[in-house]
Amino acid sequence: MSSGNSDRSKRTAGLVVCSPPFSGRSSRDQLDVALAAASMEIDLELFFSGEGILQLLADRNPRTGGLPGGIKAWKALPDLCEVNAWASAETIRKYVPKTARMLLEVQPVEQAELARRLAACDPVMVI
């Protein structure tokens, strides 16, 4: 995967996901940006921060928040492009139940590694 180098034929975008699920349209905006990038063959580095990681819980029902079922489309991203999902070990411990099923595999890493991976992305979007 190329990221942030002189080869512009294949780019890697970083998307920082901060908003909790079902908090209105904003949680769907992040998914829409990720799907748009994937449709343009842009690889993705997804960084889930705080309650943003709750968007990946497979057993949540978006209809209870008045949102369409498409919010679970996070799991389709690996079929569209190369995608890596990251979160701090602290975020995972705090927000993800041990028995939770996730829509994407999220790698727990320390803050320094998150910062290094984020710096390698071009562009970076925080939504």
Task: Give residue 68's pLDDT.
Answer: 54
43 pLDDT above the threshold of 80: yes
pLDDT digits (tens, 9 = 90+) for 67-119: 555 566 889 899 999 999 999 999 999 999 999 999 999 999 999 999 999 99
CATH of 12-126, one of 3.20.20.210, 3.40.640.10, 3.50.50.60, 3.40.1260.10: 3.40.1260.10
In the 8-state DSSP scheme, what is residue 64? G
7 pLDDT above the threshold of 60: no
Handedness of CA 20, 24, 28, 29 (dihedral sign): negative
Distance (Å) of CA 43 to CA 21, 83, 112, 121: 23, 6, 22, 10
